[in-house]
Amino acid sequence: MSVVEIFVTDVEEEAKAEECIEVLSFHFPEHRINFDLEDKDKILRMEGPPPDVKIITGVLAILKVRSRLFPEEK
């Protein structure tokens, strides 16, 4: 089963987005991962098997990226 998880991030630069994609792809090789830096929320999309959201946000935190699942977790 494939799902699309969407995250709001604070990534501003293409180089940082590419770094995040590289690291996330290492941890989640079965996912298609991309950023939409043109969106006001700097969206990160991950498509594939249901991922562990806490691992994703943890990996991004290590990379000094703030993120949250969209829509906002309660």
Cβ-in-10-Å burial (0-12, 13-18, 19+) of 47 comes to: middle
CB atoms within 10 A of CB 68: 15
pLDDT of res. 71: 80
Tokens encoding 58: 């943890």
Q: Tell me, what's the pLDDT at 67?
A: 97
What is the mean pLDDT, run by run of 10 residues, along the chain of 74 residues?
94 98 97 97 96 95 96 58
The confidence score (pLDDT) of residue 74 equals: 47
CA distance 7 to 2: 16
- The CA distance from 39 to 29, in Å, is 25
- 3-70 domain in CATH 3.90.78.10? no
Nearby residues of 18 by Cβ (< 8 Å), 6 or more positions away: none
